[in-house]
């Protein structure tokens, strides 16, 4: 046990934010006050059962819990919506208004007009903000009992990934990160785990073990990311949105130099070459024909062709292809950065082709060219029952559903009904800054939200007066997870559950989501059904019983609560699609053909040029080939930085001191604009303008700039964002198949302020 002063109590707690981490922490509490956080004790570090590795953000959370700006009381809007003027009200008044508005909107427009917005600020079996799977937790339970609500599907994280990858494999299976040390070569495309899969996800840990064992690591990214800087042997910069051209040329070289595992392709894949196409498809449509220029575009995807598109020198492309073709096993990993683009579906399906061409699928040290996966721990949830509203929209399209929901159909991604039939009239925005800050095209969104005739009622439940909270009609102050109990689980190389005890008493008049939903349920006439007379801890006891029923070693409730963490130590790492490769007859892939569909008949049937049946390079709007570059010559990408979790922790000054928010700009682009490090610059396009400090660095390729996503939009009187929120510049244009968010595809100009 840790040595602590006698007057300090150690209480198990966690980090429950959306960083792909979920770390176990100890709260050091003195006289009821949190004095510091330290990494929770978890026994020795071991590759088959690694520790969750708390980061600076997690350890700095005292500054967040005790922040002077914490919301204290319920508030109601007193000025025009979005202006940010509020008056304190009582909970009585807040709950009365919310209940009345819910009733009014239900009666006037029906339950489908009530939208629970995407949010990821809180994870937990009771208080989860992100509506996953069948949509469980306290808030969905409440809304279902009220008659249902309009749900979203997809995420802002991985829309293209989760929609496109199953067209190739039928399912989405990732290889355990614990298997990475078996690889001889690891190539990361648009993947920055050193910043985005730290903590419990542990990918940097396994990458460093792999490197220690002699594996070569290559990073493909327009930025020399922290992953490239800290873990890689080589960095290959590529122009954003052009990875498909790079992969096509890699495939071309593999073909030209006979580095292709033809027997793997013949045995397991559909549509690699003309000999393995489904019946009825005209010649020239296989992947190989596309690469060799025998298809419709009559363009061979040679390294010279790809150099012009991607900016990667042809010699580097040839060398990389040889390395991938000759080094086995090779793990090809994709991040989510390249699918948050105009045609984000395309790279997702392209990397698996390389994995198949090199026979790396289903083997140790290799992998399917997807993202890391692993084990899952089953835990009970606060049951939500069923949602009487069948309609679902892609989470990115909610602004469209405010304006044009009545007409939205499958063409706009609507599922469950033929036509949505109503516009969104009420938004419940819980633990989310996606109402404005994290959604695309902030200025357009602000105009939509400001119109009270469109969306008639907005409630925000948060800890701070975020840019989103400023658009609320009623703001409710939440307790943080340090002020309530819950269980949070995480799946990665290992699966684990953390019990976070209450560390300090709720501040001011802050109330949890369960508390609020219970009070509202009372007012709306289903209080007893909602709570079943149970406290939060009563529910948690039930959830643990579920975990115990799946895992005989799961500890008793009291022990789990006292310990704070339970880890399932896996027997062995998951090797994705191992069975399908070992027993092809007995275990087909879950695609219609049972094969790995490099050519997808289902996509072919869509007959949409923007959704080809084999993954292709499609020049992006606002990509390097868009004529708009004459006016806005720089590609502006976002990325998820270690500084924040999205917009959460934006207000912790200590973290800002560690990594100040800044625009990455190559020295060549800086000197063209007479900009020096530390200067303030304007970044703008037709959608908006922001002011940001410039970081002049060769860590970003010329022609590309980067802004870490998540800074809080802070418009001045003229609408110019003074802080540098990248969504001031991003575009609302859903991707063609997944209706995903292309928030990394933007053209801008930068100028000295």
Min dist CB 451 to ligand MGD, Å, is 22
Min dist CB 515 to ligand MGD, Å, is 12
34 binds ligand MGD (CB under 6 A): no
Task: Give the range of 5-13, 24-32, 334-342, 529-537 binding ligand MGD by CB under 6 A.
Answer: 334-342
Task: Give the range of 17-25, 32-40, 105-113, 532-540 binding ligand MGD by CB under 6 A.
Answer: 17-25
Instruction: Give the CA distances from residue 635 to residues 220, 678, 746, in Å, rounded to whole numbers and listed in that order.
Output: 17, 21, 6
335 binds, among Mo ion, ligand MGD, none (CB under 5 to 8 A by kind): ligand MGD
Min dist CB 341 to ligand MGD, Å, is 6
480 binds ligand MGD (CB under 6 A): yes
Q: How many alpha carbons lie under 13 Å from residue 263 in its C-beta half-sphere?
A: 1
Helix (H), strand (E) at residue 460? strand 457-462
Which 97-126 residues touch ligand MGD, going by CB under 6 A? 119-122
27 binds, among Mo ion, ligand MGD, none (CB under 5 to 8 A by kind): none
Instruction: Report the C-alpha gap between 138 and 407 in whole angstroms.
Output: 31
Q: Would you say 43 and 58 are in contact if contact means Cβ atoms under 8 Å apart?
A: no
646 binds ligand MGD (CB under 6 A): yes
Closest CB to Mo ion among residues 86, 118 = 118
349 binds, among Mo ion, ligand MGD, none (CB under 5 to 8 A by kind): none
> Which string of DSSP letters, residue by residue, matches 679-719?
-EEEEEETTEEEEEEEEE-TTB-TTEEEEETTPPP-B-TTS
SS3 120: coil
651 binds ligand MGD (CB under 6 A): no
Instruction: Report the C-alpha gap between 493 and 400 in whole angstroms.
Output: 38
- 10 Å CB burial of residue 246 (0-12, 13-18, 19+) is buried
> Which string of DSSP letters, residue by residue, matches 600-660?
-HHHHTT--TTS-SS----PPTTSTT-GGGGTS-EEEEEE--TT-BTTBTTT-HHHHHHS-
Min dist CB 157 to Mo ion, Å, is 3
Task: Give the range of 86-94, 298-306, 666-674, 723-731 binding ligand MGD by CB under 6 A.
Answer: 723-731
Strands 151-153 and 392-394: parallel
Min dist CB 300 to ligand MGD, Å, is 23
Min dist CB 73 to ligand MGD, Å, is 15
Closest CB to Mo ion among residues 58, 638 = 638
Q: Cα torsion for 370, 395, 483, 470, to the nearest 10°?
A: 130
Q: Which of 136, 392, 445, 730 binds ligand MGD (CB under 6 A)?
A: 730
Min dist CB 57 to ligand MGD, Å, is 7
Collect all residues with Cβ–Cβ distance below 8 Å to 587 and sequence separation of at least 6: 579, 580
190 binds ligand MGD (CB under 6 A): yes
Closest CB to Mo ion among residues 201, 611 = 201
Which 414-433 residues touch ligand MGD, going by CB under 6 A? 430-433
Instruction: Report the C-alpha gap between 195 and 191 in whole angstroms.
Output: 9
Which 590-629 residues touch ligand MGD, going by CB under 6 A? none
Instruction: Report the C-alpha gap between 639 and 746 in whole angstroms.
Output: 13
Min dist CB 348 to ligand MGD, Å, is 12
Closest CB to ligand MGD among residues 99, 336 = 336
Instruction: Report the C-alpha gap between 148 and 165 in whole angstroms.
Output: 31
338 binds ligand MGD (CB under 6 A): yes
Min dist CB 688 to ligand MGD, Å, is 12
Of the candidates 461, 481, 468, the one whose C-alpha atom is nearest the C-alpha of residue 434 is 468
Closest CB to Mo ion among residues 157, 730 = 157
536 binds ligand MGD (CB under 6 A): no
Helix (H), strand (E) at residue 664? strand 663-665
19 binds ligand MGD (CB under 6 A): yes
Q: Which two tokens stand for residue 483?
A: 């002020």
341 binds, among ligand MGD, Mo ion, none (CB under 5 to 8 A by kind): ligand MGD
Closest CB to Mo ion among residues 325, 638 = 638
Q: Which of 183, 238, 309, 472 binds ligand MGD (CB under 6 A)?
A: 238
Instruction: Report the C-alpha gap between 711 and 437 in whole angstroms.
Output: 8
Closest CB to ligand MGD among residues 241, 387 = 241
307 binds ligand MGD (CB under 6 A): no
220 binds, among Mo ion, ligand MGD, none (CB under 5 to 8 A by kind): ligand MGD
335 binds ligand MGD (CB under 6 A): yes
Closest CB to ligand MGD among residues 149, 272 = 149
Min dist CB 20 to ligand MGD, Å, is 4
141 binds ligand MGD (CB under 6 A): no
- 10 Å CB burial of residue 6 (0-12, 13-18, 19+) is exposed
140 φ/ψ sector (left φ>0, alpha ψ -120 to 50, else beta): alpha
Q: Which two tokens stand for residue 498?
A: 């953390």
Min dist CB 375 to Mo ion, Å, is 21
Instruction: Report the C-alpha gap between 682 and 694 in whole angstroms.
Output: 10
195 binds, among ligand MGD, Mo ion, none (CB under 5 to 8 A by kind): ligand MGD
336 binds ligand MGD (CB under 6 A): yes
Of the chain, the end-to-end C-alpha distance in Å amounts to 55
Collect all residues with Cβ–Cβ distance below 8 Å to 321 and sequence separation of at least 6: 249, 250, 251, 252, 253, 254, 257, 259
74 binds ligand MGD (CB under 6 A): no
Instruction: Report the C-alpha gap between 252 and 325 in whole angstroms.
Output: 11
Closest CB to Mo ion among residues 157, 175 = 157
Q: Which two tokens stand for residue 301?
A: 């995807």
Min dist CB 294 to ligand MGD, Å, is 27
Instruction: Report the C-alpha gap between 123 and 149 in whole angstroms.
Output: 20
Instruction: Report the C-alpha gap between 391 and 131 in whole angstroms.
Output: 14
Q: Which of 337, 352, 703, 740 binds ligand MGD (CB under 6 A)?
A: 337
Of the candidates 639, 659, 464, the one whose C-alpha atom is nearest the C-alpha of residue 56 is 659
Report the interface residues with Mo ion, using CB under 5 A. Answer: 157
Of the candidates 406, 403, 470, 379, the one whose C-alpha atom is nearest the C-alpha of residue 433 is 470
Instruction: Give the CA distances from residue 178 to residues 169, 206, 581, in Å, rounded to whole numbers and listed in that order.
Output: 22, 6, 20
DSSP 8-state secondary structure symbol assigned to residue 419: B
Neighbours of 213 (CB within 10 A): 12
| Residues paired with 76 in a beta bridge | 87, 474
Which 673-712 residues touch ligand MGD, going by CB under 6 A? 709-710
568 binds, among Mo ion, ligand MGD, none (CB under 5 to 8 A by kind): none
Closest CB to ligand MGD among residues 145, 219 = 219
Q: Which of 13, 136, 241, 735 binds ligand MGD (CB under 6 A)?
A: 241
Q: Which of 225, 397, 412, 568 binds ligand MGD (CB under 6 A)?
A: 225
Q: Would you say 682 and 612 are in contact if contact means Cβ atoms under 8 Å apart?
A: no
Which 202-221 residues touch ligand MGD, going by CB under 6 A? 220-221
Instruction: Report the C-alpha gap between 668 and 663 in whole angstroms.
Output: 14
Closest CB to ligand MGD among residues 336, 420 = 336
Min dist CB 221 to ligand MGD, Å, is 4
15 binds ligand MGD (CB under 6 A): no
Instruction: Report the C-alpha gap between 260 and 279 in whole angstroms.
Output: 24
Min dist CB 426 to Mo ion, Å, is 25
Instruction: Report the C-alpha gap between 359 and 614 in whole angstroms.
Output: 18
- Site residues (CB under 6 A) for ligand MGD? 18-20, 119-122, 156-157, 189-192, 195-196, 220-223, 225, 238, 240-241, 243, 335-338, 340-341, 430-434, 438, 461-464, 466, 478, 480-481, 637-640, 642, 644-648, 709-710, 726-727, 730, 743-744
């Amino acid at each position: 046990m840790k040595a602590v002063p006698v007057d300090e109590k150690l209480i198990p707690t966690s980090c429950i934010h959306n960083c792909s981490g979920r770390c176990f922490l100890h709260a050091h509490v003195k006289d009821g006050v949190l004095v510091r956080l330290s990494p929770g004790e978890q026994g020795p570090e071991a590759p088959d059962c690694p520790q969750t590795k708390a980061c600076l953000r997690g350890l700095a959370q005292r500054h967040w819990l005790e922040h002077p700006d914490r919301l204290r009381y319920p508030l109601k809007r007193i000025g025009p919506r979005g202006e940010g003027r509020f008056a304190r009200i009582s909970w009585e008044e807040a709950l009365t208004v919310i209940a009345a508005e819910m009733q009014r909107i239900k009666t006037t427009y029906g339950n489908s007009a009530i939208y629970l917005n995407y949010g990821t600020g809180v994870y937990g079996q009771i208080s989860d903000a992100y509506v996953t799977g069948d949509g469980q937790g306290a808030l969905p339970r409440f809304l279902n009992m009220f008659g249902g609500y309009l749900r979203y599907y997809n995420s802002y994280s991985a829309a293209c990934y989760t929609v496109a990858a199953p067209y190739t494999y039928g399912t989405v299976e990732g290889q355990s990160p614990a298997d990475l040390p078996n690889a001889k070569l690891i190539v990361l495309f648009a993947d920055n785990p050193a910043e985005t899969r730290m903590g419990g996800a542990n990918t940097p840990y396994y990458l460093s073990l792999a490197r220690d064992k002699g594996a070569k690591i290559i990073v493909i990214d327009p930025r020399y990311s922290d992953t490239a800087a800290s873990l890689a042997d080589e960095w290959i910069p590529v122009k954003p949105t052009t990875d498909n051209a790079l992969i096509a040329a890699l495939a071309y070289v593999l073909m030209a130099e006979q580095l292709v595992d033809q027997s793997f392709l013949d045995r397991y894949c559909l549509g690699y070459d003309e000999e393995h196409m489904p019946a009825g498809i005209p010649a020239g449509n296989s992947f190989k024909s596309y690469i060799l220029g025998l298809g419709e575009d009559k363009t061979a995807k040679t390294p010279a062709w790809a150099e012009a598109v991607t900016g990667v020198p042809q010699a580097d492309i040839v060398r990389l292809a040889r390395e991938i073709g000759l080094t086995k096993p090779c793990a090809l990993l994709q991040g989510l950065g390249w699918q948050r683009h105009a045609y984000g579906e395309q790279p997702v399906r392209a990397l698996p082709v390389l994995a198949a061409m090199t026979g790396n699928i289903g083997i140790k040290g290799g992998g399917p060219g997807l993202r890391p996966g692993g084990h899952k721990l089953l835990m009970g949830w606060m049951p939500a029952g069923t949602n009487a509203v069948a309609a679902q929209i892609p989470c990115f399209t909610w602004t469209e559903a405010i304006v044009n929901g009545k007409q939205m159909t499958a063409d706009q991604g609507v599922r469950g009904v033929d036509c949505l039939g109503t516009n969104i009239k009420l938004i419940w925005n819980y633990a989310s800054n996606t109402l404005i800050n994290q959604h695309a095209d902030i200025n357009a969104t602000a105009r939509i939200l400001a119109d009270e005739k469109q969306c008639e009622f907005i409630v925000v439940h948060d800890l701070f007066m975020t840019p989103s909270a400023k658009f609320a009609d009623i703001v409710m102050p939440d307790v943080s997870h340090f002020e309530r109990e819950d269980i949070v689980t995480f799946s990665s190389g290992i699966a684990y559950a953390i019990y976070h005890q209450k560390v300090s008493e709720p501040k001011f008049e802050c109330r949890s989501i369960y508390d609020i939903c219970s009070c509202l349920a009372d007012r709306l006439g289903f209080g007893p059904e909602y709570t079943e007379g149970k406290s939060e801890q009563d529910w948690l006891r039930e959830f643990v019983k579920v975990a115990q029923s799946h895992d005989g070693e799961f500890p008793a409730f009291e022990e789990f609560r006292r310990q704070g963490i339970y880890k399932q130590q896996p027997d062995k790492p998951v090797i994705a699609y191992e069975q399908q490769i070992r027993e092809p007859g007995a275990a087909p892939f879950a695609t219609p053909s049972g094969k790995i569909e490099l050519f997808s008949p289902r996509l072919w049937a869509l007959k949409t040029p923007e959704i080809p049946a084999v993954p292709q390079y499609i020049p992006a709007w606002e990509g390097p080939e868009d004529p708009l570059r004459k006016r806005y010559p720089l590609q502006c990408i976002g990325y998820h930085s270690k500084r924040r979790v999205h917009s959460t922790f934006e207000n912790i000054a200590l973290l800002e001191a560690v990594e100040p928010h800044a625009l990455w700009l190559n020295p060549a682009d800086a000197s063209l604009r007479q900009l020096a490090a530390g200067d303030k610059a304007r970044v703008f396009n037709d959608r908006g303008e922001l002011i940001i400090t410039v970081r002049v660095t060769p860590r970003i390729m010329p022609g590309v700039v980067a802004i870490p996503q998540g800074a809080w939009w802070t418009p001045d009187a003229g609408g110019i964002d003074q802080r540098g929120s990248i969504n001031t510049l991003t575009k609302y244009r859903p991707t063609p198949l997944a209706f995903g968010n292309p928030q990394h595809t933007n053209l801008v100009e930068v100028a000295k302020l």
